[in-house]
Structure 1
Amino acid sequence: MKNTAGILLGSIAVVVGAIAQHSLPDTVGATRIVITYRCNPRDRPVLLQEMRKNGERRFAQWKREGAIQDYLLLFNSFVDTTTWDMLSVISFSDYQQTDRWRDIEEVYPGGLDSALLRIVTPSATFLSEQKWQAGKNGDPTSALYMVIPYEHPDRGVYIDFVNSVLVPQFAGWMKEGAVRSWSILLNKHYPGKPWDILLLLEYDGVRGLSQRDAARAATEASLKTDAGWKLLREISSQFRNEYEVSTARVITPKQ
């Protein structure tokens, strides 16, 4: 069975490599730290209120001080015991800048003060690389994110798969007005549980998400004449395993 799987993966690699042609500029070195947080369902309203009041402002201060390059704070739209209640994606200009975050962690675990840590727990931290990003972020107060973790059998093949299939596909979704921006993070500790890849799709609010199926259909119609894209799209399950999908709002400061 292992030999058969290896032969299949090798064959797929040849096909993918032969038709990879839509790659975006490489962003190697775009270091990100991803942190997931869990809390009791009864504490979710307080968590969101406190993050809007004080928690988000602390991240903004670290950005102003140059300790971090940027940050994205997401609050899960629904209670989900299998994923997370809050997620942060912290950006750094280079790996060396993460040393500043290590100092912050000694005082603010997961970026949180003692008051917040009474109601929420940082559950996992992932060092990652943002390999792809396209589009422009819109108004954070209306944005709706879809966060999708994946596992893949071979990193090199998956990178070619993204360039061959996902780059043109997501470009179509943006053209149709459903998606504002997208990015893919690669877990630096590969293979690393619970995910090797984290996809973040920023939709134009509920309106954009409601147009997802229509945007997908229109994009597939425009790409169906590309035999290579069509073939790889049909066998995409060979490149990755998808896990629990989350939708989330951006945590913005209380006005």
Structure 2
Amino acid sequence: MKDALMVGSTLPAQTNMTRGSRRAAALLAMAMVTMHGAAAADGDATSRPTQSSLIVSYRSTPAGRPALLHTLRARLAPRLHALQAEGRLMHYRILFSRLADANTWDALLILDFRTDAQAASWRAVDAETPAGLAATDLAQVTAVESTPSDPVGKGGPADDGPDPVYMVVPYDYFVPTKDYIAYARSYVFPQTDGWIAAGALNAYQLYIARYGAGRNWMSMLVLAYHGDNGLDRRNDVVAATRKALSANPDWAARATGKGHIRTEKAAMIADLIAGG
């Protein structure tokens, strides 16, 4: 994940653009869509990659949130660090939601495995300590959901850059997985690359639930913003990027038909508790 998928030069951060910068933005938009469209055509998008992920959500009562946060910091983070040092885990992040919300998770664990052996190693851990927690630590947890997933796109640095603030957006989709991945590459990634170029976003990752039927989500977009300032700029940067991308007819067509492809569910804002 060290390599970035940043494309072209920086998009203008201001909406008051000169004719030359509007033309440059339009050309950048076309380049973004063309590059991601070519990536979608390379190979079978639904073929299972060697690399895989596991996304674990934890729920607690409002009163139990402080104890859960302490458990994640004091017990789960050192355990994950040790697994990574032993080569049994490629990458991990523990996120904690900023606000109590009964409708979704309090904490999110994202594990990335380089090989099937690493994934199997985590299953052995889970058998002894469910979701990575000891029995006494699970006292603060009311529900756990573990979702085997496949990473299908990313941009930005592996450590998610300086001072990351996370927005995690779950989706359901209504088309075959192969078509959804092609849609993400041609419609979503040109936007997220544009947000990185504008300086509001540090990094992003898109995950697809491997067995999505009946799950609370089928795909999950993890956005690491450049601090609270980057998050505050979200609406302006989204609007400016979409305006530039709309110069490309293929992207514009995708934007018009996106409601028939996926539905967005409740987004969560979270902070990084530990990662490596």
Instruction: With the length of structure 2 as denominator, give the TM-score of the two structures.
Output: 0.79
Task: State the partner residue of 1:112.
Answer: 133
SS at match of 1:118: helix
User: Per-residue deviation at 1:69?
Assistant: 1.4
Residue 199 of structure 1 is aligned with which of 209, 214, 221?
A: 221
Task: State the partner residue of 1:169.
Answer: 191
For residues 244 and 95 of structure 1, the distance between their equivalents in structure 2, rounded to whole angstroms, comes to 31
Task: State the partner residue of 2:83.
Answer: 62
Q: Alpha-carbon deviations, 1:124-178, whole Å to 9, x = none?
A: 1111100111111113xx3111111111111122111111111111111111111
Q: How does 1:1-255 map to 2 (within 5 A)?
A: 21=37, 23=39, 28-136=49-157, 137-139=160-162, 142-154=163-175, 155-252=177-274
Kept in 2, the 8 Å contact 1:23–1:167? The answer is no
For residues 104 and 51 of structure 1, the distance between their equivalents in structure 2, rounded to whole angstroms, comes to 16
Kept in 2, the 8 Å contact 1:22–1:168? The answer is no
For residues 158 and 192 of structure 1, the distance between their equivalents in structure 2, rounded to whole angstroms, comes to 18
Task: State the partner residue of 2:26.
Answer: none
Kept in 1, the 8 Å contact 2:95–2:274? The answer is no
Q: Which runs of 5+ in 2 are unaligned?
A: 1-33
Instruction: With the length of structure 1 as denominator, give the TM-score of the two structures.
Output: 0.85
For residues 34 and 163 of structure 1, the distance between their equivalents in structure 2, rounded to whole angstroms, comes to 21
Task: State the partner residue of 1:10.
Answer: none
Q: Which amino acid aligns with 1:227?
A: P
User: Per-residue deviation at 1:190?
Assistant: 3.7
Q: Alpha-carbon deviations, 1:180-239, whole Å to 9, x = none?
A: 111111111143522111111111121110010111122122212101111211221111
Cα gap change, 1:44/1:190 in structure 2, threshold over 3 Å: closer, same or farther? closer
How high is the sequence identity, in percent, across the aligned residues? 27
SS at match of 2:39: coil
Q: Which runs of 5+ in 1 are unaligned?
A: 1-17
